[in-house]
Amino acid sequence: MWFVAIGVLVLILNIAGIGPVGAWTWKEHWWIMLSPFALAALWWAWADWSGLTQRKAMKKVDDKREARRQKSLDALGLQSPRKGKR
């Protein structure tokens, strides 16, 4: 996501003519202006290939499941074994 944000920022700076980025021409510096988008595509491809995206999604589901379980136990007045032992 950061690569996309950087790419959009570079494009906005170039179109608005702000700073040194505003002086860049598409003919000479197209690769610099588009490289953050290429890096974002590579990052997303790697994250999907390595399973990082799936692991994060599974952890999020597991965390929600555990929070629901804990909320149900608290609502029933039951304590988890670790809370009551101390």
Tokens of 66: 């555990």
Structure tokens at 45: 């491809």
Between CA 35 and CA 79 the distance in angstroms is 54
CB neighbours of residue 36 within 10 Å: 19
Q: How far is CA 69 from the centre of its chain?
A: 27
With contact defined as beta carbons under 8 Å apart, do 18 and 7 qualify?
no
17-21, 48-52, 63-67, 79-83: which has the minimum mean pLDDT? 79-83
pLDDT in tens, 37-70: 999 999 999 988 898 888 888 999 999 999 999 8
Share of the chain above pLDDT 70, in %: 91
